């Protein structure tokens, strides 16, 4: 649970920055391809996205793990739930990182 | 009496999940006050936001495909239903954050009051008005965030 | 005129009656449960337990119900009344404000018969957390030296509230974590753990923290507050659990002053005695 509190509080701050980036200009304008790809090319924004990705993935899948762990109490279930959520969070982090790296290096 | 005794023996030997209320208990927020509602909402919004997060990571990966793929992906949320979904995301994330901060404090034992000498009629100090107003503030903030979302998303269209 | 009829006569004179709908089973057989309805006369002060005992005395003697003190100090008559875990002896018909009262056995407890539930697992969880004072410096084994602890009223206030627990199982029945997790000790056991943790006579704080710091331990509490809501003695288990968690995460300072142990030599003691 400690990891849940830490990632939760940290995610709150970085997600706030992420949302503010969408709100400093008209919402629909901020989502045009050129603007978004421009964001990705900024190394700091890319890093911010990566941090959000890791924090939310850990927080979210740990939360899911907590909910699922409470449903059944046997070793097999606990093992499956723990490994399943760890693999799922690693998969989503890998997939998101691939997007960030490709989008960042697309027109370099 | 004999029967009851036999049954009692039987149940001590089995680790029993018998007559546990199961999922029904956390899916039903009513009858136990605001804290139970907060528990229920915190979980539901958490699951909902996790689904959104996975969807968000997958949909934004279309940026790699170039402007055309990106724009066709954007069309997904340009419908009223898509807008409603986004507004729901805004509301749930606001509630989950605000209530989450309150919960971190309570889980650290802060803002709950001190143990004392309870007197009838008992009012538990952990269910005090600071806690309740924390939940209400989270709900109100979520409502305002959703109103803001309505203004941004539906205002132009 | 016998005493019995006069009592019954009083009941008959009562202005109001309510319907008690009682959950009935035949042993532990699945699918044998049904509800029986009884018309029960009530007064302003009639408790649900009084109503149940009236039904058992005059209408159906086979109703299975456990009770003892009738004054909320034994914790035997816990049951779900209109969907909420309550003590039957502590709930008046007049405060329920309905003419249909549904009595069901406590949730999260295996049913033995009718309204009687099996507490063995509940007590096992309680025992597992070692609910007694442990102090290495006290000379319990040899009893050579008599000793006592000095506690100030402030020391007592830290745990007194939690020591009012009567083990009625209402919190265990209300808890949404207990509802799915059979290894979770439940609000009652965890609150008792804090009761001994915060007692200045106890010096096993570290052990107690380790006891609850498990996968299915204190972390399974998510502060739904239902335990404190239903507690009939104002114990507030949720408060104890959160305070304990504060200590577990080293957020609350555990600079608890320990009670002073004072020894009297047995010679001195026998001297004063003689």
Read off the pLDDT of residues B47-101 as tens digits, 9 standing for 90 and up.
999 999 999 999 888 888 888 888 888 888 888 888 899 999 999 999 999 999 9
Contact C249 B122 (CB under 8 A): no
Residue intervals in chain C for CATH 1.10.1060.10: 120-261
Residues 21-80 of B with CB under 8 A from C: 21-26, 31-36, 38-40, 42-43
Every domain of chain B and the residues it spans: 32-110+120-155
Q: B111 in the Ramachandran plot: left (φ > 0), alpha (ψ -120 to 50) or beta?
A: left
What's the fold here for domain B32-110+120-155?
3 helical TM bundles of succinate and fumarate reductases (1.20.1300)
Q: What is the pLDDT of residue C6?
A: 46
Q: Of the given ranges (B133-137, C11-15, C19-23, C71-75), which has the lowest mean pLDDT?
A: C11-15
> How many Cα atoms within 13 Å fall on the side-chain side of residue A88?
20
Residue C127: the pLDDT is: 94
Q: How far apart are alpha carbons C197 and C207 in whole angstroms? A: 9
What is the pLDDT, as a whole number, of residue B73? 86
Q: CB A103 to CB B63 under 8 A?
A: yes
CA dist B61 and A103 (Å) reads 9
- Comparing A42 with C270, the larger pLDDT belongs to A42
DSSP C125-169: HHHHT--S---TTS-TTT--EEEEEE--HHHHHHHHGGGG-----
Average pLDDT of the segment spanning C140-153: 77
Percent pLDDT > 70 in chain C is: 85
Backbone angles phi, psi at C251, to 5 degrees: -85, -40
Q: What architecture is domain C120-261?
A: Orthogonal Bundle (1.10)
Selected residue with higher pLDDT from C6 and B67: B67
The whole-angstrom separation of Cα C235 and Cα A62 is 32
Q: Has residue B1 got a pLDDT over 60? A: no
* Domain ranges in chain C with CATH number 3.10.20.30: 3-117
Class for the domain spanning C3-117:
alpha beta
The complex's ipTM?
Answer: 0.91
Tell me the fold of A2-105: 3 helical TM bundles of succinate and fumarate reductases (1.20.1300)
- pLDDT band (50, 70, 90) for residue C121: very high
Burial of B119 (0-12, 13-18, 19+ CB in 10 A): exposed
Instruction: Return the SS3 of C41.
Output: strand
List subunits contacting chain B, requiring 3 or more Cβ pairs under 8 Å.
Answer: A, C
Rounded to an integer, what distance in angstroms lies between the CA atom of residue B49 and that of residue B88? 10
CA distance C98 to chain B (A): 16
Instruction: Over range C74-82, report the average pLDDT.
Output: 94
Window A:15-74, CB contacts with B under 8 Å: 15, 26-28, 31, 33-34, 36-37, 40, 53, 56-57, 60-61, 63-64, 67, 71
- At residue C207 the predicted structure's pLDDT band, cuts being 50, 70 and 90, is very high
């Amino acid at each position: 649970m400690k990891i849940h509190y830490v990632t939760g509080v940290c995610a709150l701050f970085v997600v706030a920055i992420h949302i503010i980036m969408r709100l400093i200009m008209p919402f629909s304008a901020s989502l045009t391809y050129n603007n978004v790809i421009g964001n990705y090319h900024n190394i700091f924004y890319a890093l911010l996205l990566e941090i959000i990705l890791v924090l939310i993935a850990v927080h979210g899948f740990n939360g899911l793990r907590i909910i699922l762990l409470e449903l059944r109490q046997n070793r097999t279930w606990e093992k499956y739930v723990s490994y399943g959520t760890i693999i799922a969070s690693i998969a989503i982090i890998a997939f998101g990182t691939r997007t960030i790296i490709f989008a960042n290096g697309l027109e370099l | 009496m004999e029967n009851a005794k036999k049954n009692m023996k039987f149940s001590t030997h089995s680790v029993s999940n018998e007559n546990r209320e199961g999922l029904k208990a956390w899916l039903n927020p009513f009858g136990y006050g605001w804290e139970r509602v907060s528990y229920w909402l915190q979980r539901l919004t958490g699951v909902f936001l996790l689904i959104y997060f996975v969807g968000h990571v997958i949909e934004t990966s279309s940026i790699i495909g170039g402007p055309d793929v990106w724009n066709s992906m954007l069309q997904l949320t340009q419908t009223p239903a898509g807008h409603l979904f986004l507004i729901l995301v805004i509301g749930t994330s606001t509630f989950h954050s605000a209530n989450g901060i309150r919960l971190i404090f309570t889980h650290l034992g802060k803002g709950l009051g001190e143990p004392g000498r309870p007197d009838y009629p008992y009012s538990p100090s952990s269910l005090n008005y600071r806690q309740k107003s924390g939940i209400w503030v989270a709900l109100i903030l979520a409502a305002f965030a959703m109103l803001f979302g309505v203004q941004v998303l539906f205002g132009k269209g | 005129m016998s005493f019995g009829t006069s009592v019954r006569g009083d009941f008959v004179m009562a202005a109001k009656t309510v319907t008690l709908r009682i959950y009935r089973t035949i042993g532990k057989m699945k699918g044998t449960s049904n509800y029986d309805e009884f018309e029960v006369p009530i007064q302003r002060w009639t408790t649900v337990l009084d109503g149940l005992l009236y039904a058992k005395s005059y209408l159906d003697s086979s109703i299975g119900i456990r009770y003892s003190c009738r004054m909320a100090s034994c914790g035997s008559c816990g049951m779900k009344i209109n969907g909420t875990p309550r003590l039957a002896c502590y709930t008046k018909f007049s405060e329920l404000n309905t003419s249909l009262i549904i009595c069901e056995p406590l949730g999260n407890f295996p049913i033995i018969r009718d309204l009687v539930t099996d507490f063995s697992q509940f007590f096992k969880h309680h025992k597992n957390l070692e609910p007694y004072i442990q102090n290495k410096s006290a000379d319990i084994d040899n009893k050579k030296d008599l000793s006592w602890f000095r506690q100030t009223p402030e020391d007592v206030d830290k745990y007194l509230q939690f020591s009012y627990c009567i083990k009625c199982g209402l919190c265990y029945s209300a808890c949404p974590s207990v509802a799915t997790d059979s290894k979770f000790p439940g609000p009652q056991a965890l609150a008792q753990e804090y009761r001994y943790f915060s007692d200045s006579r106890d010096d096993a704080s570290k052990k107690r923290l380790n006891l609850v710091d498990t996968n299915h331990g204190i972390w399974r509490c998510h502060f739904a507050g239902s335990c404190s809501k239903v507690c009939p003695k104002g114990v507030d288990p949720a408060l104890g659990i959160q305070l304990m968690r504060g200590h577990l995460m080293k957020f609350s300072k555990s600079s608890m002053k320990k009670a002073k142990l004072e020894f009297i030599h047995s010679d001195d003691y026998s001297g004063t005695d003689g």
